[in-house]
């Protein structure tokens, strides 16, 4: 049996415009530039350029304004516009851009040569070697399975099976092994190895060091690899019947080998980081800039607006409806970029105010969480998270991710709270000055920190050490 009833509920829902703003807010500068280019291609009413002052002051009779609020907003001058005014206005709005150095803008980027992939380098070397067509077929299959570190982790039997099934061949493991040996001795040596042990042994074949040391290193890696990885130096000395000084020479030679032969040189494109903010010191104040010099100013195309005019009788109703949709989309896109700019600057100003000591000296971070910034600028924590995530700031002391300025607090014996990043720096300093033959344990590090006034437990020291990718004391030991 059906029952009809009425309910009244109060719900909060994000409008499409708010969703668009939130998506733009979490984009870093480079991704924002790409997003704007895509929007310019998709929306014919949107174009690059600053609105002409004469156009901005003209009456907007041609725009499809329909409410009294919109008409009232259109009579305001550009300097009196607020974000709320703009949302109800059919005219375009271009945020005022900061004065830029024209020399920087006109500076051409130097062309960067495209790097040659490692796969192509290996195949080019094989073409110069005495390799048959069958061997090249096998080599291409093997090289295609080498990972970014230069290792072949796929089982060789599976590779043989795939080649035989695909090309209807009858290759044996020995034939494929022979091709693999040729690949492993190309440049860089050790490429295509199936283990670290195999990789180091192959590189020893090309070593120009003392032959006696090379032979001892080969014996060490072949017969005592487990002792080598665990750094049991005294045991290695007894097994090889050599003094510790000679063990030290062998280890120094092995340390110069490449454990990841597949790692290539980092290209300029991969290593170039574009900061989203620039913070500079000007006497006693900080100047905070949003690094948006490559973000073009946007406006709504005047010709398309004229097509939407009520006086234009040549435009069909369907065309006007289409243009109206694109007009609304362009208007909200421009407004979202403006609001993104305002929000990001508010967050950055709040961070600089809270971490003023760091921006002045490069050290002295204070405990800070997202909630602190959210309460300061009266925004939601999720908004702060979107601004901070993946954004970077250029300071007088380097480029830092915004997350760097947020950390938990640790109490000192004096009752003052310090950032856990400061504690990590103290741990680094302690480890740099430790005796490498007798590395400090986590318990000993915790004791030293307590002497310096930091109340920190051993397990916390271990957690911070692991987060900094510092190995345990046993693996830090050296002769």
Strand partners of residue 419: 409
Q: How many Å apart are CA 268 and CA 209, to the nearest integer? A: 33
- Check residue 408 and give its pLDDT: 81
Strand partners of residue 298: 48
CB 348 within 8 A of CB 362: no
pLDDT in tens, 372-424: 999 999 999 999 999 999 999 999 999 999 999 998 877 777 667 778 888 88
Tokens of 252: 């120094």
Cα 177 to Cα 172: distance, rounded to the nearest angstrom: 9
The pLDDT value recorded for residue 267 is 54
CB 413 within 8 A of CB 377: no
How confident is the model at residue 248, as a pLDDT?
93
pLDDT, one tens digit per residue, over 436-457 is: 888 999 999 999 998 888 888 8
Cα–Cα distance for residue pair 328/44, rounded to 1 Å: 12
User: Is the peptide bond preceding residue 188 cis, with omega within 30 degrees of 0?
Assistant: yes
Q: Confirm if 319 and 311 have CB atoms less than 8 A apart.
A: no
Write out residues in the chain with pLDDT < 50, as ranges. 53-108, 266
CB atoms within 10 A of CB 46: 23
């Amino acid at each position: 049996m059906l029952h009809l009833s009425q309910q009244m509920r109060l719900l909060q829902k994000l409008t499409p415009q708010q969703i668009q703003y939130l998506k733009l807010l979490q984009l870093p500068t480079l991704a924002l530039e790409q997003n704007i280019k895509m929007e310019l291609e998709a929306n014919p009413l949107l174009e690059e350029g600053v609105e002409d002052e004469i156009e901005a002051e003209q009456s907007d009779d041609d725009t499809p304004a329909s409410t009294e609020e919109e008409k009232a907003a259109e009579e305001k001058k550009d300097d009196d516009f607020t974000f709320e005014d703009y949302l109800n206005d059919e005219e375009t709005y271009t945020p005022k851009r900061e004065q830029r150095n024209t020399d920087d803008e006109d500076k051409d980027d130097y062309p960067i040569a495209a790097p040659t992939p490692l796969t192509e380098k290996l195949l080019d070397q094989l073409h110069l070697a005495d390799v048959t067509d069958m061997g090249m077929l096998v080599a291409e299959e093997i090289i295609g399975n080498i990972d970014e570190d230069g290792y072949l982790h796929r089982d060789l039997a599976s590779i043989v099976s795939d080649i035989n099934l695909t090309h209807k061949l009858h290759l044996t493991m020995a034939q494929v092994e022979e091709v693999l040996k040729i690949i492993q001795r190309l440049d860089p040596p050790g490429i295509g190895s199936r283990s670290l042990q195999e990789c180091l042994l192959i590189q020893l074949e090309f070593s120009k060091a003392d032959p006696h040391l090379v032979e001892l290193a080969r014996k060490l890696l072949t017969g005592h690899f487990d002792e080598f990885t665990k750094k049991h130096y005294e045991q290695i000395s007894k097994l090889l019947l050599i003094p510790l000084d000679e063990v030290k020479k062998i280890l120094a030679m092995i340390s110069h080998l490449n454990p990841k032969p597949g790692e290539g040189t980092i290209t300029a494109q991969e290593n170039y980081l574009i900061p989203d903010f620039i913070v500079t010191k000007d006497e006693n104040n900080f100047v905070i800039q949003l690094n948006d010099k490559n973000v073009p100013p946007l406006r709504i195309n005047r010709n398309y607006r004229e097509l939407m005019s009520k006086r234009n009788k040549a435009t069909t109703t369907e065309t006007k409806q289409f243009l109206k949709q694109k007009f609304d989309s362009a208007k909200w896109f421009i407004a979202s970029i403006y609001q993104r700019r305002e929000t990001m600057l508010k967050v950055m100003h709040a961070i600089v105010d809270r971490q003023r000591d760091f921006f002045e000296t490069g050290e002295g971070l204070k405990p800070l969480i997202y909630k602190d910034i959210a309460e300061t600028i009266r925004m939601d924590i999720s908004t702060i998270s979107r601004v901070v995530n993946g954004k970077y700031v250029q300071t007088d002391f380097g480029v830092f991710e915004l997350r760097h300025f947020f950390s938990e607090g640790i109490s000192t014996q004096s009752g003052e709270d310090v950032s856990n990043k400061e504690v990590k720096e103290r741990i680094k300093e302690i480890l740099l000055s430790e005796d490498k033959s007798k590395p400090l344990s986590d318990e000993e590090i915790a004791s030293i920190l307590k002497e310096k006034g930091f109340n920190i437990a051993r397990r916390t020291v271990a957690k911070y050490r692991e987060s900094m990718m510092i190995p345990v004391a046993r693996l830090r030991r050296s002769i």
